Chains A and B, each alone.
Chain A
Amino acid sequence: MTAARPAGGDPLLELRNISKHFGSVIALKDISTTVRAGQVTCVLGDNGAGKSTLIKILSGVFAPDAGELLFDGAPAHFGSPRKALDAGIATVYQDLAMVPLMAVWRNFFLGSEPTKGWGPLRVFDRATARRVTRAELAGMGIDIRDTDQPVGTLSGGERQSVAIARAVHFGARLLILDEPTSALGVKQAGVVLRYIVQARERGLGVIFITHNPQHAYPVGDRFLILKRGRSLGDFAKSEISRDEMTQLMAGGTELEELGHELDRVAGDDPAMGAVAEQITAEAVAKGPDGPAVDGPAAPG
């Protein structure tokens, strides 16, 4: 196995000038990018930038108001999440799309239940569902006490892990992850990043949304940066450095202002002063080149 990946597989999904509005709110305007098989496309941007709206268009939840979606080179209209799933697109939604009162294994296979038997006696193959759920979760390093417990009783991170394991299990062509690591511990976040890399090696396309440039940059091949529903750019990795990306994401000047503001508020509180200093430092893009997977590197 060589580490050399195809620099760009076949275009799996192409977005051409996608726009979406909710009433008078323009959530997305003229977004274009390409997701190739065997590549990871990171979507980055502020809260409310339109990242989740974009991936909901790709996973069939919303229909775009304008623009074109090409899947395997042919125009695609995913009228429902079911159609997208059937095309091999699996999504981890930001809200995880799980039913709190239902058992873990029931949630895992929800909508794609394995069956056995024939005709009216065709039943939900519960043994298989339980077994696969346990195995997939173990693979993520999550040791659920009991797959029969309701999802609502899991911790936030465990719940997120179940949703990720589910998408990895069902994603055959394209895996979409909307802030999958937001509630995860360092170890589980590392596992998710490894999964992303593995999916890429297997030739899947991956769309990865995160607020963490330390997570995005090492695994990403393309970076689509959104701000207030518009694209600030769609870069190949070679076209942008991590510091440039961080600055674009944060809107450098705004962060600098925040630093100054905190400085004023901090007065002589040394702890606050340190935070302000750090933010200012990040804003002028002197962020330390810490190890990729270990979360924000501590200064010093």
Chain B
Amino acid sequence: MTIAAAPPATDERVARTGLLRRLLVKPELGSLIGALLVFTFFAVLSDVFRSTSGVANWLDPASTIGIMAVAVALLMIGGQFDLSAGVTTGTAGLTTAILTTHYHLVLWVAMAVSLAVCLGIGFVNGYLVMRTRLPSFIITLGTFLMLQGLNLGLTKVITDTVSVGGISSEPYYETAHKIFASTITINGQPFEIAIVWWIVATVVASYVLLRTRFGNWIFAVGGDVNASRNVGVPARRTTITLFMGVSGAAWFVGTTQVIRLTSVQANSGFGLELTYIVAAVIGGCLLTGGFGSAVGASLGALIFGMTSQGIVYAGWDSDWFKFFLGAMLLLAVLSNQLVRRYAEQSRR
């Protein structure tokens, strides 16, 4: 009765998972193709776009969006949203600027306080989401509105205006400038140092996601939080850490902005939260969580940077930017959907 076949060395059924399928289940594949297409498109249209100065120009917005998009992508893989991510960059810059220029704190101390404030915002977001089990969309919509009001209200109360400046005359500004806002000259063309930090953030996030146990927990809490809990994953700690990662990144980007521009508007960062989410989704993050990549989110930010500058170089009205972006988002979501169906297709 028993068929005593020795297990074959290689499984004859493996042929079904071919190279194509393996490539297709990579979340960043779509955004890589998208980035290549966008680059080719604008490079053909405009010489400046592919010149060194052009590249430096579109890498700059890509870098600050990219640092945030990477952190937001990890959070989205963990199954959550953060609508307060944009205004938190404003909060970071405002806190640093007000504490130095109005309360005469040393720049480093002010930046440390600002970091603590931002991490506190992330902690509160994460704690409330885990505690109440309400959708993070609602919780962070609340903190988003509160922060927006606080940024404006407190700035007006303290400074009587809606912008804070004069940070460049503070002691230690030069050192901070070196870290956050200096440039690196390649081929006679200065590149913003934020580009380097962006690459570092992408590499670190990818490493954490794919090579550490914390990375395993991120995928798990995003995929099925109950199952993760039941096998002993510290779901609450993981989620709170992810929210704090986003607000920590917001501190970094907000600090970069205030150091670079030497002043900050009270409405700074408003509206950017959607940009980060769009970049992460273009990069292959599923809105339902449990799937996505840091590299993909970075490529999404790159597409963002290239499109925003490319439209200017092509000599079009910048109003077209939003249209392009929306189309890109739709395309990305549709192709993600197809890829995921294909990847999950089981024998029926």
Interface residues of A (CB under 8 A from B): 59, 61, 80-82, 85-86, 91, 93, 95-102, 106, 109-113, 115, 122-124, 126, 138, 143, 145-146, 149-150, 152-155, 166
Q: Name the B residues within 8 Å of A126 (CB-CB).
A: 211
Given A124-B215, A146-B14, A97 contacting B226 (CB threshold 8 A)? yes
Given A81-B230, A99-B224, A145-B13, 13 additional A-B pairs, CB 8 A: A86-B232, A97-B224, A99-B220, A99-B227, A100-B223, A111-B228, A112-B231, A112-B232, A126-B211, A143-B7, A145-B16, A146-B17, A155-B346
Chain B window 234-273, contacts with chain A (Cβ cutoff 8 Å), 1 for yes, 0 for no? 1000000000000000000000000000000000000000
Q: Which residues of B contact A97 (CB under 8 A)?
A: 224, 226-227, 230-231
B34 sits at the interface (CB 8 A): no
B345, CB-defined interface residue at 8 Å: yes
Question: In angstroms, how far is the closest chain B Cβ from the Cβ of A99?
Answer: 4
Contact among B14, B227, B234, B346 for A82, CB-based, below 8 A: B234
- The reply on B191 being an interface residue by CB < 8 A is no
Set of chain A residues within 8 Å of B215, measured between Cβ atoms: 124
Nearest CB in chain B to that of A93: its residue: B230
> Are A143 and B11 in touch, CB under 8 angstroms?
yes
B85 shortest CB reach to chain A, Å: 24
Whether B58 sits at the interface, judged by CB under 8 Å, is no
Number of chain B residues whose Cβ lies closer than 8 Å to a Cβ of chain A: 32
Where chain B touches its partner, the secondary structure class is helix
Q: Mark B283-309, 1 if CB is under 8 A from A, else 0.
A: 000000011000000000000000000
**B233 adjacent to chain A (CB < 8 Å):** yes
Q: Quick check: A102 and B213 within 8 Å, CB to CB? A: no
CA gap between A99 and B17 in the complex, in Å: 20
Tell me the bound Cα distance from A143 to B13 in angstroms.
11
Chain A residues with CB under 8 A of B211: 123-124, 126
* Closest residue on chain B to residue A56 by CB atoms: B230
Closest chain-A Cβ to B10's Cβ sits at a distance in Å of 10
A185 nearest CB across to chain B (Å): 14
